Amino acid sequence: MKTVWSTIVISMLALFCFTVSAVAKDTVVVYTALENDEIVKYLALAKKELPNLDIKAIRLSTGELGARMLAEKNNPQVDVIWGWAVTNMAGFVDRGMLEKYKPKNWNKIPDHFKDPKGYWTAIDLYAAAFVGNKRVLKAKGLPMPQSWNDLLEPGYKDRLIMPNPASSGTGFLQIASLLVMMDSNYKTRPIEDNRAWDFLKRLDKNMGQYIKSGSKPAKLTAAGEYAVGCSFAYVYTSLKKKGFPVQMALPAEGVGYELEANALVSGAKHKRAAKKFLDWAISKSAMKQYAKFKLGVTYPGIGGPKGLPPIATVKLAPMDFPWQSKNREKILTVWSNLFLK
How much is the pLDDT for 338?
96
What's the domain count of the chain?
Answer: 2
Q: Give 144's DSSP letter.
A: P
Helix axes 328-339, 196-204, angle to 10 degrees: 40
Q: Per DSSP, which regions of 95-219 are E strands?
A: 98-99, 121-133, 160-163, 207-211
pTM listed for this prediction: 0.76
Answer yes or no: is 10 within a domain.
Answer: no
Answer yes or no: is 205 within a domain.
Answer: yes
In this structure, are 91 and 170 located in the same domain? no
What does the alpha-carbon distance between residue 305 and residue 94 come to, in Å, rounded to a whole number?
Answer: 35
In this structure, are 171 and 84 located in the same domain? no
Provide the 3-class DSSP secondary structure of residue 163. Answer: strand
How much is the pLDDT for 87?
87
Q: Which residues contact 227 (CB under 8 A, 6 or more apart)?
A: 132, 133, 136, 137, 140, 142, 156, 159, 160, 221
Report how far Cα 172 is from the mean position of its chain's Cα atoms: 11
How much is the pLDDT for 23?
53
Residue 30: enclosing H or E segment and its boundaries? strand 26-32
- When the pLDDT of each residue in the chain is averaged and rounded to a whole number, the result is 90
Answer yes or no: is 4 within a domain.
Answer: no
In this structure, are 175 and 282 located in the same domain? no
**What is the extent of the structural domain holding 180?**
126-254+315-339
Is the distance from CB of 123 to CB of 260 less than 8 angstroms? yes
How much is the pLDDT for 151?
97
In this structure, are 248 and 263 located in the same domain? no
Provide the 3-class DSSP secondary structure of residue 206. Answer: coil
Is the distance from CB of 30 to CB of 278 less than 8 angstroms? no
Answer yes or no: is 14 within a domain.
Answer: no
How much is the pLDDT for 80?
98
In this structure, are 291 and 250 located in the same domain? no
In this structure, are 60 and 117 located in the same domain? yes
In this structure, are 231 and 263 located in the same domain? no
In this structure, are 119 and 264 located in the same domain? yes
| 145: CATH | 3.40.190.10
Q: Is 254 left (phi over 0), alpha (psi -120 to 50) or beta?
A: left
Is the distance from CB of 83 to CB of 259 less than 8 angstroms? no
In this structure, are 303 and 325 located in the same domain? no
Answer yes or no: is 15 within a domain.
Answer: no
Answer yes or no: is 7 within a domain.
Answer: no
How much is the pLDDT for 233?
86
The values of phi and psi at residue 131, to 5°, are -115, 120
How much is the pLDDT for 322?
87
Answer yes or no: is 17 within a domain.
Answer: no
Which stretches of the chain score pLDDT less than 50? 1-22
Among candidate residues 110, 125, 117, the one with its CA nearest the CA of residue 96 = 117
In this structure, are 89 and 180 located in the same domain? no
In this structure, are 136 and 244 located in the same domain? yes
- Tens digits of per-residue pLDDT, 80-106? 999 999 988 988 998 999 999 999 999
Q: Determine the length of the chain.
A: 341
Answer yes or no: is 54 within a domain.
Answer: yes
In this structure, are 131 and 82 located in the same domain? no
Q: Give 114's DSSP letter.
A: B
How much is the pLDDT for 6?
44
What does the alpha-carbon distance between residue 82 and residue 219 come to, in Å, rounded to a whole number?
Answer: 24
